Amino acid sequence: MTELNPGNAIVIVIIGSVVVFKMPNVQQIMANKNNYSCTDDNVTSSKRIWYPTIQNALLIIVLAFFALSSLHKQSPFLYFQF
């Protein structure tokens, strides 16, 4: 079992923060769609409307690859002989 040292934790927090603040939220993705349930005018006038690009597709593919490649790892059963 590997331990998470403070250096790795800081790197994970920084990468997670970049992903959280750079990736679009649902309102930004759906802002240019004709959606009658969203009547807020601030959503469509936002400067951060997300449009699909090749760079975004490549980022999603890389993240999906790492997520799928980590599925084979086994973790110990936490409540064994509890």
Residue 80, pLDDT above cutoff 60: yes
Residue 55, pLDDT above cutoff 80: yes
User: Cα–Cα distance between 14 and 29 in angstroms, integer?
Assistant: 24
Residue-level pLDDT at 41:
54
Task: Return the closest-CA partner of residue 53 out of 22, 15, 27.
Answer: 22
Confirm whether 1 is domain-assigned: no
Across all residues in the chain, what is the average pLDDT? 75
Q: How confident is the model at residue 11 (pLDDT cuts 50, 70, 90)?
A: confident
Confirm whether 55 is domain-assigned: yes
User: What average pLDDT score do residues 64-69 get?
Assistant: 89
Confirm whether 17 is domain-assigned: no
* Number of domains forming the structure of the chain: 1
Confirm whether 11 is domain-assigned: no
- Domain holding 54, by residue range, is 25-70
Residue 46, pLDDT above cutoff 60: no
Type of residue found at 50: W
Confirm whether 40 is domain-assigned: yes
Confirm whether 35 is domain-assigned: yes
Confirm whether 52 is domain-assigned: yes
Confirm whether 48 is domain-assigned: yes
